[in-house]
Chains A and B, each alone.
Chain A
Amino acid sequence: MSVVAMPSGRGAPAQAEPILVVDGLVKRFDTPDGPLTAVDGVSLTVAPGEFLGVIGPSGCGKSTLFNIIGGLLDGYEGTVRVGGERVAGPHPSIGMIFQEESTFPWRSVIDNVAFPLEIAGLPKAERYQRARHFVSLVGLDGFERRFPAELSGGMRQRVSMARTLAAQPKIMLMDEPFAALDEQTRLLLGDKVLQIQQELKQTTLLITHNITEAVQLSDRILVMTYRPGRVKRIVDIDLPRPRTSEIVSSEAFGRYVAQIWSDLREEATRGLKDDESRTRRAGERP
């Protein structure tokens, strides 16, 4: 197994002063079988305006990393800094989009999006005006008064995205936000994310297990090993921007997918074998 953290060879974003610095992160969980190291010595940086994808097999600690950076998980070694400031808990500079459906079912689209502005204490007229802008940004004009139950899964994830963006975070964390959607919707929503990122120059960290999605959206991709999660390789994605989902048919795209899969395959196989042996052991217990 090769564990190589390659420096970014990409132009502007990676060379700028990083806005997010994760240094030597180690997180262990107590389990009935003893302590389990979920992430082990993970270090990464994200430059302003950069889109960093984090990819790895199931059980590599991607979501643990997401929760630590977002300030939802404590009791770890190492540091997380945003704009030089150490993060110890939820931070206003970090916005989070979750894998599960997370809109508030009792609030309309506009009220969902205006939620962080309401918490910030903005007057009603101002927060609705700003919320409308973000609703429009995610392409949901005309659905402001609808409730989440009246929307499709993809639309609901766009509401979540607009709600996070409305808080104007410096960094947007996304934890497999399109995992529950079909492939076509996922590609089209990827287009929407690209368009928004282009427009807002939004620094984004995307956690995913989907190689196509990672290559479609990212400037760099950090490949993680199976448990314990370490940085195996960082791949620069030198595909032209602005991008659309049409890029998936290009030859260069295919090469990146193949390259990342060759890195991931070994890890995914290890994960699969580990799952099987754990299931077997569990079955043998009296």
Chain B
Amino acid sequence: MIGRLRKNRWFPAALGLGSFAALVLLVELLIYLDVVNRYVVPPPSDVVAAFPRIVTEEHVLSRFLLTAGEALSASVLVTIFGVAGGVLLYQFTLLRQATETWVAAVAAAPLVLMYPLYLVIFGRNATTIVMMGFTAGLAPVILKTLEGLVGTRRVLINVGRSFNLTPSQQFWKILFPAALPTVFVGMRLGLIFALINIVGVEYLINFGGLGQLINDLAERFDLAGTYAAICFVILVSIIVFMLTERLERWLRPAG
């Protein structure tokens, strides 16, 4: 029976959804039984009930589009400059030796604390938020791009050399596609960092999209509304990830 279910193509998705539904029910039950304090975690049924309210009264859709737009802009910048940075470090050994440790240190630094500086530079607007996302997401993309290029199997490079490829062909036909899976790991990490910082800075400077909404709702002690707004942040994350996955499938259909 389980063997037959495992072969069913819908089974993994159904299992995932079923597990999520079971978890939601469990939380509901625990709150109902007063095991979990309802003033800390609202009942899931209240969160669901809050959706229509935050859509109509809090203009969540326009806020969602703003945060999604900021996330997308930061993603594009992170991808362009992160991949280019990784390629530069790969091409110039001295540059890599001089800066790789710094880049790694930046990846681990709490860059969100730089938001006052960015406010001074860019003002209290969406540019600050996008630039904060970009800064936070850049280092992992650089590091992973570098790792992917350095990790390209020697034999594949030798195949290219045996066919007398030009340096440009060697890069675009062999090195880059070979490094793509690792580059995309870096992009996913970078986009996570970017999104966390975008919503975080919106929250901190009380400006813009979903982060500001979460701040407002939390300050009004509207816990159900806060959690419903968080669901929209998750939705932004899902959309960005789906786009990344599509892009990866398009650039590298197999392997």
Name the contact of A90 in the complex, choosing from B161, B174, B177, B255 (C-beta under 8 A). B161
Nearest A residue to B158 via CB reads: A72
The B157-186 residues at the A interface (CB cut-off 8 A) are 158-159, 161-165, 169, 173-174, 177-178, 180
B155 located at the interface, meaning its Cβ lies under 8 Å from any Cβ of chain A in the complex: yes
Nearest A residue to B177 via CB reads: A106
Quick check: A148 and B163 within 8 Å, CB to CB?
A: no
The B124-150 residues at the A interface (CB cut-off 8 A) are none
Quick check: B162 and A72 within 8 Å, CB to CB?
A: yes
Q: Report the bound CA distance from A196 to B255 in whole Å.
A: 29
Quick check: B255 and A149 within 8 Å, CB to CB?
A: yes
Q: Report the bound CA distance from A94 to B162 in whole Å.
A: 8
Q: Report the bound CA distance from A147 to B153 in whole Å.
A: 18
Q: Report the bound CA distance from A18 to B178 in whole Å.
A: 38
For B177, what are the chain A residues with a Cβ–Cβ distance below 8 Å? 104, 106
Quick check: B153 and A100 within 8 Å, CB to CB?
A: yes
Name the contact of B155 in the complex, choosing from A94, A100, A119, A147 (C-beta under 8 A). A100
Interface of B is mostly: helix
Task: Indicate the size class of the contact surface on chain B.
Answer: 20 to 34
The answer to whether A106 and B254 touch (CB under 8 A), given A98-B159, A101-B155, A115-B163, is yes
Interface centre among B153, B156, B165, B180 (most CB of A within 10 A): B156
For B161, what are the chain A residues with a Cβ–Cβ distance below 8 Å? 71-72, 90
The answer to whether A98 and B158 touch (CB under 8 A), given A119-B165, A119-B173, A167-B163, is yes
Quick check: A149 and B254 within 8 Å, CB to CB?
A: yes
Quick check: B156 and A104 within 8 Å, CB to CB?
A: yes
The B206-255 residues at the A interface (CB cut-off 8 A) are 252-255
Q: Report the bound CA distance from A167 to B254 in whole Å.
A: 24
Q: Report the bound CA distance from A108 to B165 in whole Å.
A: 20
For A89, what are the chain B residues with a Cβ–Cβ distance below 8 Å? 164
For B165, what are the chain A residues with a Cβ–Cβ distance below 8 Å? 119
Name the contact of B254 in the complex, choosing from A94, A98, A108, A119 (C-beta under 8 A). A108
Nearest B residue to A160 via CB reads: B159
Quick check: A104 and B169 within 8 Å, CB to CB?
A: no
For B255, what are the chain A residues with a Cβ–Cβ distance below 8 Å? 105-106, 147-149
Smallest beta-carbon distance A256→chain B, Å: 31
For B153, what are the chain A residues with a Cβ–Cβ distance below 8 Å? 100
Quick check: B162 and A90 within 8 Å, CB to CB?
A: yes
Quick check: A92 and B155 within 8 Å, CB to CB?
A: no
Q: Report the bound CA distance from A70 to B164 in whole Å.
A: 11
A24 located at the interface, meaning its Cβ lies under 8 Å from any Cβ of chain B in the complex: no
For B158, what are the chain A residues with a Cβ–Cβ distance below 8 Å? 72, 96, 98, 102
Which B residues form the contact surface with A (CB < 8 A)?
Answer: 153, 155-156, 158-159, 161-165, 169, 173-174, 177-178, 180, 252-255
A sample of 20 inter-chain contacts (CB < 8 A) reads: A72-B158, A72-B162, A90-B161, A90-B162, A95-B162, A98-B155, A98-B159, A100-B153, A100-B155, A102-B156, A102-B158, A104-B177, A106-B180, A115-B173, A116-B163, A119-B173, A147-B255, A148-B255, A149-B254, A149-B255
Extra pairs beyond A105-B254, A108-B254, A167-B163 (16, CB < 8 Å)? A71-B162, A72-B158, A89-B164, A90-B161, A90-B163, A95-B162, A96-B158, A100-B155, A102-B159, A105-B255, A106-B252, A106-B254, A106-B255, A119-B163, A119-B164, A119-B173
